[in-house]
Amino acid sequence: MSSQLSSQFTYATAAPQIEGAWNTDGKGPSIWDTLAHTPGKILDNSNADDACRSYDFYRQDVALMKSYGVTAYRFSLSWSRIIPLGGKDDPINEAGIQFYSNLIDELLANGITPFVTLFHWDMPQALEDRYKSMLNQSKYIPDFLRYARVCFERLGDRVKHWITYNEPGVYTLAGYAGGAHAPGRSSNREQNEEGDTSTEPWIVGHTQLVSHGYAVDMYRKEFQPSQKGTIGITLSGNWSEPWDKSDAADRAAAQRALEFEIAWFADPVYGPGKVDYPGCMRKQLGERLPQFTEEEKRLVRGSSEFYGMNTYTSFFVKDNIVGGPIPPEDHKGNLRWFNENKDGVSRGEESDTEWLRTAPWGFRKLLRWIWERYHVPIYVTENGTTVKGEDKLTEKLLNDRHRIEFYRKYVGELAKAVKDGIDIRSYFGWTLADNWEWAKGYTDRFGVTFIDFDTPEKKRYPKRSAAFNRDFFKHLIAKS
């Protein structure tokens, strides 16, 4: 793999964003179902009750993927569809298990390899009601392990690629620091009734790391010997470049940004030396950052057999000089972000999403930074963009040039990184189809397939980017 591009060009999705059927066939409510039905929490006042109706039309989606030439599909399981109340002693919903079993069989019958994520943000509401879910590590871990066990037992004979958590950092910060995402907790009482931005994110992040370690330990001991699968975690992170490269403080700030965003989870799992969070985090957060017990250290270090990498853009970063102590609500390393650097160079062309600009110049740098720091095979598990003006179905919309150029440039940088000797095993575009984009509702469209949400069947229309990606990736593989 060090000199050739992987043949796996494919797409990723998440259950809450595409499935719909939010209360069908015994499924229990998740924290996102709760948030979506709370007035004022979603930008367009929508909900994911139907989403893309992939629960009903999964065979159609698999047929689309086959026509797009993909060889693998990354999707998540809905915990509350499988165990409606979520807990270790709660009943299993056989209809939920059957749905995912049918989906996996359909994928395999069409030559598509399933990559399965256990947790993509949709915590069963019952666990939030019982004990505040991840804020109570001792109660949460047995419940998560029982859920993982059910999935391994019932699906692991056909699933050979497992991901425990998707973007634990984003789940933590958006749900417990910013408070805009479920479960909607922060110190901002104008927005959230409960929460403490200064402490809860670090508790929740630690719970995810430790529970991930326990789940991997269980899989390796009880299932991997017979099922022969692989397991890991997917982390989020974008490249951070100094606003002023000649300024030592800005260079340090850019490194700090990478460590607060990425190394927060990656250092304990992959890093050399002692198992701990990055030193810059310890220095700023002090006792608010949990300590690893000896047992947790053993479980977490080496608990991912690959580096799952979700990335979208790049930023210019400047040190945030403050006159006094860093505010306890700061959770990103005392930084400021800019769309242009000191010399007025833009980080990239705008998309339809405020923070997301096409910035492939940082993608290769990020791949190199991760490879040199951790030296594990990289699976790019999410990468994609929105496009301005994709709200109405038109021929111009389906000819999504901005998205095509995004993929051309990012996959091109990926190919260069492979030739640099970086071990990259896959590339998953985000996403297969326009979907319900969390607190943005249906306003952000990331798909290579347009979904007409106004039609009962959520009619699907391939965009040109789907055909481009199929042909472009084949071309790169032939050259490698």
pLDDT confidence tier of residue 1, bands split at 50, 70 and 90: very low
pLDDT in tens, 108-126: 999 999 999 999 999 999 9
What percentage of the chain has pLDDT greater than the value 70?
A: 98
pLDDT confidence tier of residue 473, bands split at 50, 70 and 90: confident
What percentage of the chain has pLDDT greater than the value 90?
A: 94
Q: Is the pLDDT of residue 211 over 70?
A: yes
Contact 422, 380 (CB under 8 A): no
Count the Cβ atoms, other than its own, within 10 Å of residue 303.
24
167 is catalytic: yes
- Which residue in the list 167, 241, 261, 390 is annotated as catalytic? 167
pLDDT confidence tier of residue 3, bands split at 50, 70 and 90: very low
Kindly report the pTM of this predicted structure: 0.97
pLDDT in tens, 363-415: 999 999 999 999 999 999 999 999 999 988 989 889 999 999 999 999 999 99
Q: Is the pLDDT of residue 8 over 70?
A: no
Contact 252, 319 (CB under 8 A): yes
Buried b (16+ CB within 10 A) or exposed e, 204-241: bbbbbbbbbbbbbebbeeebbeebebbbbbbbbbbbbb
pLDDT in tens, 28-87: 999 999 999 999 999 999 999 999 999 999 999 999 999 999 999 999 999 999 999 999
* Residue 479 confidence (pLDDT): 65
- Which residue in the list 200, 305, 382, 390 is annotated as catalytic? 382
Q: What is the mean pLDDT of residues 335-363?
A: 98
CATH fold of 9-479, please?
TIM Barrel (3.20.20)
Written in H, E and C, the secondary structure of 258-304 is: HHHHHHHHHHHHHCCCCCCCCHHHHHHHHHHCCCCCHHHHHHHCCCC
What the block records as the tokens of 54 is: 């992939």
* Residue 2 confidence (pLDDT): 42
C-alpha pair distances (Å), 85 with each of 78, 81, 235: 12, 9, 27
